[in-house]
Structure 1
Amino acid sequence: MNNIFTHSKKGFLLVTLFVTMLSFANENPFYTVEVAAVKTTLTLNSVKEGSALSIKDNRGTVLYSEIIKVTGKYSRAFDLSFLPNGKYTFEVDKDLAIQEIPFRINAGNAFINKDKEKIVYKPFIRAVGDYVYINKLAIDGEPLEINIYFINKENKYEELILSEVASDASKIERTYKLKGLNLGNYKVVLYSANRTYEKTI
């Protein structure tokens, strides 16, 4: 089982991947926030149907979530006055990036912290024939932990067959050759920036 994978570090980059990410980063402005009395209105100026909006506390606990059902402009008013004083984040998960919009609650009022805004680029996993390609923008230098498991069809057990931590100044690119696809499936589990991403092949 040790030879199921042949590791190749050939450069692999999809132009469309970067176009999508760069267009996401260059939207201007991506959002606006209005606070009036106890209502905080978040307006997203350009979203796609299927994007996810959530509110998280500073421990990453999801307090609110929804799937956006419109393409274009989206607006929702929130009553955040019930939240205790502290730090929170609006997260917009779309395509291959997550926009983090941090804010704090003080005495029932919301204050956006624009200096702490961040875009988290998600890894892109693609399987073609016997190969699996993994790509990720790493603008902040975040390492990417890659774990690949073989899932036996008969016994349904999972065996870790590859584990590595990849890092790069700007982008991470990995290519792996799969063997024994007729014997079972593979599960790719990636960790980066305190987030987990999975895909079964």
Structure 2
Amino acid sequence: MKNVIKHSKKILLAVLMLAVLVGNAKEKSSSLKKGLIKTALTVYNVKKGNLLSIKDQNGVTLYKESILETGTYKKGFDLTALPDGDYFFQVDKEIEVKTIPFTVKSSTVVFKKDEEVTVFKPFVREKDGYVFITKLSPNYASLKITIYANYNGDFEMLYSDKFENLQTIGKAYKLEEGNYKIVMNSDNNEYVKYINN
């Protein structure tokens, strides 16, 4: 009788261990399958409110989200669902835009690390009736600044400056009280800032 109880305990313990192992094996294989079709994207030094987009080669936005937490952004994307073609992730931060290109072909995703580009946006700051505009331009991209004043609902051009062949651009403008529109063109992009002082 003691032998029967002893063997029953061993068999019960073996069945329980087998059940736990089988249960864990099923969980791991299903999460592994899910991971095979997802591509992980990690972006460092993001701030809450930065924008992440996926765009096609024509610049059409296919996906867009606002980043919810400051720090490191991590997310998995099923990019194999996209039709064959060229695409890119775009991370729009406060003073820079990072472009991460990739290609989808026959449900295979290939990132083009050597074609990643970071473009720095002009930064506008106001203080004591002055507007300071700065831009980092490591690739010597030109910057055109045009300032318009709002007179009774119509914008009239006040200043226009163009900077070329500089890596660091900085300019200060003295503006009287009023409403202004500042248009900045650089790296094939246009940036607009409205000033009410």
Amino acid at match of 1:199: K
Alpha-carbon RMSD across the aligned residues, in angstroms, is: 1.9
The CA distance in 2 between the partners of 1:130 and 1:45, in whole Å, is 35
Aligned residues: 162
* Pick aligned residue for 2:189 from 168, 186, 195: 195
The CA distance in 1 between the partners of 2:108 and 2:101, in whole Å, is 14
Q: Verify the 8 A CA contact 1:38 1:109 in the aligned structure 2.
A: no
How do 1:68-83 residues align onto structure 2 when only pairs under 5 Å count? 68-83=67-82
The CA distance in 1 between the partners of 2:44 and 2:150, in whole Å, is 43
2:113 corresponds to which residue?
114
2:65 corresponds to which residue?
66
Runs (4 or more) in structure 1 with deviation over 6 Å come to none
Structure with bigger gyration radius = 2
The CA distance in 1 between the partners of 2:44 and 2:154, in whole Å, is 46
Amino acid at match of 2:192: E
Amino acid at match of 1:185: N
2:133 corresponds to which residue?
134
2:8 corresponds to which residue?
none
Higher relative contact order (CA 8 A, sep 6+): 1
Normalized against structure 2, the TM-score is what? 0.75
The CA distance in 2 between the partners of 1:162 and 1:106, in whole Å, is 49
The CA distance in 2 between the partners of 1:165 and 1:113, in whole Å, is 33
Report SS of the residue matched to 1:174.
strand
The CA distance in 2 between the partners of 1:109 and 1:64, in whole Å, is 19
1:173 corresponds to which residue?
170
Q: Give, in angstroms, the shift of residue 101 of structure 1.
A: 1.0
Question: Any stretches of 5+ residues in structure 2 without a counterpart?
Answer: 1-33
Normalized against structure 1, the TM-score is what? 0.73
The CA distance in 1 between the partners of 2:181 and 2:153, in whole Å, is 12
Amino acid at match of 1:129: D
1:30 corresponds to which residue?
none
